[in-house]
Structure 1
């Protein structure tokens, strides 16, 4: 056993505003319905605006519903990172949300 963690990756669009957009995004990018044991890397380089409701749904779908061990934000704007961290705190999964550079995330 190598101890490596499986990694899934999703790229955020320029505008991320609704809860429904999270499900659409995961379907469009073929993200597995089961992420148990996986790290979900969320690429936010192109994101210009992400709502609080989108951030909350992202945390809910990725960690709570699909069971990702970690949600790793890469290149997301500071305001969106705050939204995601706040959602994670409210859902009691703050320890599973990380902010990393692309190099740190291994991409």
Structure 2
């Protein structure tokens, strides 16, 4: 089993914790948007677009989750993207996995 399939293997060391108190917008949304833009190599989508309908596929989903894991310390399996193929859905799934509402752990990318 690789680390993309094992959602329980999140990095144990996060370099900083950032509490975002942003009225009106889920603090996970910008992180997911940035990861989508990075792996899709475009920004032609909104928060309700389906990842797989705007150029995504399973390899890009894996790369996106890897990027999100580095940025947040939260690891989820690729199945999460298939079950939550929108930015809003994936942000919600990450927040639920974090179990801390608006607390986002950021680690320095290597």
TM-score normalised per structure 2: 0.29
Higher strand share: 1
Question: Which structure ranks higher in relative contact order (CA pairs < 8 Å, sequence separation ≥ 6)?
Answer: 2
TM-score normalised per structure 1: 0.29
